[in-house]
Amino acid sequence: MGKSNQLDFSGHNIFVGLDTHLKSWKTTVIVGSNVFKTFSQNPNPQVLKDYLVKNFPNGNYYSAYEASFCGFTSHRELLNLGIINIVVNPADIPTTDKERKQKEDARDSRKIAKQLSQNDLKAIHVPAIDLEADRHLVRYRKTISKDLAREKARIKMQLYYFGIEIPIQFADKPYWSKKFMDWIEQVKLPAQSAKMVLNGHLDMARMLRKKQYATLKEIRTLALKECYNDNFILLQSVPGIGPLTAMILLTEVGEITRFKTLDRFCSFIGLVPTTNSTGERESVGKITPRGNRTLRSALVESAWVAIRHDPALMLAYQKLVKRMKAKNAIIRIAKKLASRMMFVLKNKQEYVCAVVN
């Protein structure tokens, strides 16, 4: 009779801390409150399950790993294998100064396992796989826009470098018309090699613009899906919120009902300040670096638009800029904008302009 058949860990909790990497996982197993073993394994959830079943048959298996490049694929596979897994924010794992300066995979996996066994880890929200895929599409549009902006900057830099002056009708315009791009194509440079480089950047810019249009069209089609359409329309009743920002919010947030209060929603976005409290002194700093950068950026941009269309927000902004910088005031407006978006989604009713809250 094999060893595994003689063992029975029924009723025992087995905690596993995973430090995930592309080629291997560093794994620490804790039984009860005792560290059993730290080892390297292939980055495969099935390998871990086979190890646990062999050494701790019938146990209750729990695992955790930090959010990283591997996303939530491993999380879903671990759950399917019967291992109760959570994904945690790396910033939420208590770390000493020594651990920050002497980072080791084994130490990281032991720390995760220990915190998991003590129930000190808080899981982050894991979206449904369909929502996650839609989120990638919406984010891809921003990636293309950044790449296109870089190509445009490179083209302008090359023109300036060779002393080519941009005609007044095209200068300082954010949108590059077809006529402008055709003009660039006809520009004469002192050498064929330089012209080849310019044409290469121009071809790349044209290709990226086509991709940008195609992606935006796909996002608009996505908005017509039953799971988005009603909320997509509601969100656009809020001044400053256009089709793209609405889809960013819907794909980044998912169900708005998971946020019980506005403060929690703003914390998720990253619209809350950093605080430092020592003794009787408490200081409030800039907005926290934590949060959803994609959504925060979109809301701040929308806030600038909103103050030009919503009298209530314009009034609030005018009062704020009297006592703080404009960039700080617009963060407060973005938070008010988040409140309006949260209201229309939770109450399923359109926003009415000029309502002060």
Residue matched to tokens 């809020």:
238
Which tokens go with 3? Answer: 């060893």
Residue 277: pLDDT above 80? no
d(CA 114, CA 135): 33
Beta carbons within 10 angstroms of residue 192's beta carbon: 8
pLDDT at 171: 81
Query: pTM for this structure?
Result: 0.85
pLDDT at 69: 83
d(CA 326, CA 310): 17
d(CA 174, CA 188): 23
Enumerate the domain spans of the chain: 9-117, 129-223, 238-347
pLDDT in tens, 168-201: 888 877 788 889 999 999 999 999 999 999 999 9
CATH of domain 9-117: 3.30.420.10
CB 333, CB 316: distance < 8 Å: yes
d(CA 117, CA 29): 10
What average pLDDT is seen over the chain? 89
pLDDT at 354: 60
- pLDDT class for 91, splitting at 50, 70, 90? confident
Which tokens go with 311? Answer: 């009298």
d(CA 298, CA 300): 6
